[in-house]
């Protein structure tokens, strides 16, 4: 019995896979969004370069916040070391690492901004 059902199923499946998608009448949905609204909520169709520049800016901002938090944490460790030389050395290392990281992040941000501005001005002409 199940063998007959499976044979019947395997005969109908290819036919259904070919014909059933044609029955669906999909259409676009009009949400009533004007260009002003889509621009205000960030759904406008902008250039890919602008989108990449925004992503880089957000990423660099997050990295900058992380570096500042590391520097603040290093300062907190130093203040709470209570004269313990091991904790003071750990705090100094953390501060130096945070400042170096912040310098690298700021340099990367400056380089990224220069490259993005150069690309935009070169391709705009």
Question: What are the tens digits of pLDDT across the range 8-58?
Answer: 777 887 877 777 666 556 666 666 667 676 667 766 666 777 778 888 888
Q: Which domain holds residue 76?
A: 46-125
Residue 78 lies in a domain: yes
Tokens 């259904």 identify what position? Answer: 16
Confidence (pLDDT) at 30: 66
- Summarize the confidence of residues 79-83 as an average pLDDT: 89
Q: Is the dihedral of CA 47, 48, 51, 56 positive or negative?
A: negative
Please state the domain count of the chain: 1
Residue 19 lies in a domain: no
pTM: 0.57
Residue 52 lies in a domain: yes
Which of 30-34, 62-66, 78-82, 83-87 is predicted with the least confidence, judged by mean pLDDT? Answer: 30-34
CB neighbourhood size of 67 (10 A): 20
């Amino acid at each position: 019995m199940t063998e007959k059902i499976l044979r019947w199923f395997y005969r109908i499946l290819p036919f259904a896979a070919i014909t059933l998608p044609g029955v669906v009448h999909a259409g676009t949905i009009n949400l009533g969004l004007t260009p002003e609204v889509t621009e205000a909520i960030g759904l406008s169709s902008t250039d890919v370069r602008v989108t990449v520049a925004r992503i880089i800016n957000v990423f660099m901002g997050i990295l900058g916040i992380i570096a500042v938090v590391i520097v603040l944490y290093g300062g907190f460790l130093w203040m709470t070391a209570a004269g313990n030389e091991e904790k003071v050395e750990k705090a100094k290392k953390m501060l130096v690492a945070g400042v170096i990281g912040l310098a690298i992040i700021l340099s990367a941000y400056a380089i990224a901004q220069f490259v993005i501005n150069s690309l935009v001005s070169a391709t705009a002409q």
